[in-house]
Amino acid sequence: MTQLMILLQAGAGANSYTSLILLGGMILVFWLFMIRPQAKKAKMAKQFQESMQKGDKIVTIAGIHGTVNKVNEDGTLMIETSPGSYLKIEKTAVSMEWSQNVNKNNAAAAEKK
């Protein structure tokens, strides 16, 4: 009977190590595919928002197209949406992906001319 108990305890110990290794692997995969790319994207967006300057063409997350007229010290921008029409928006409301696509399309159109 004692030999049977020893065998069961040895099997339970190996099972717990396997569970720990699987849990560690799941955490690693979650970090590699979810957390790390999201943090990288957030860092790029912050750099994009900090590098905006007068004359940049932008698109907000609401889809408003405009040109940066003034960068304010309080984290806001004055954008010109049409000649003589200005909006004050937060820097965080600018979409990095959409703004880059608009600027890429404008550059491609300028090269064709």
The domain that holds 80 is classified in CATH as 2.30.30.140
CA distance 19 to 95: 42
Long-range contacts of 48-55 (CB under 8 A, 24+ apart): 48/94, 48/96, 48/99, 48/100, 49/91, 49/92, 49/94, 49/96, 50/91, 52/77, 52/91, 52/94
Regarding whether 18 and 41 lie in a shared domain, the answer is yes
Question: Is residue 102 within 8 Å of residue 57, measured between CB atoms?
Answer: yes
pLDDT tens-digit profile of 19-44?
889 999 999 998 888 889 999 998 99
* Statement to judge: residues 73 and 108 lie in one domain: yes
pLDDT in tens, 85-97: 999 999 999 998 8
Q: Are residues 14 and 58 in the same domain?
A: no
Is the domain of 58 the same as that of 38? no
> Is the domain of 29 the same as that of 78?
no
Q: How far apart are CA 104 and CA 113, in angstroms?
A: 15
User: Which stretch of DSSP H or E encloses residue 90?
Assistant: strand 85-90
* Predicted structure pTM score: 0.65
- Whole domain around residue 75: which residue ranges? 52-112
Number of domains in the chain: 2
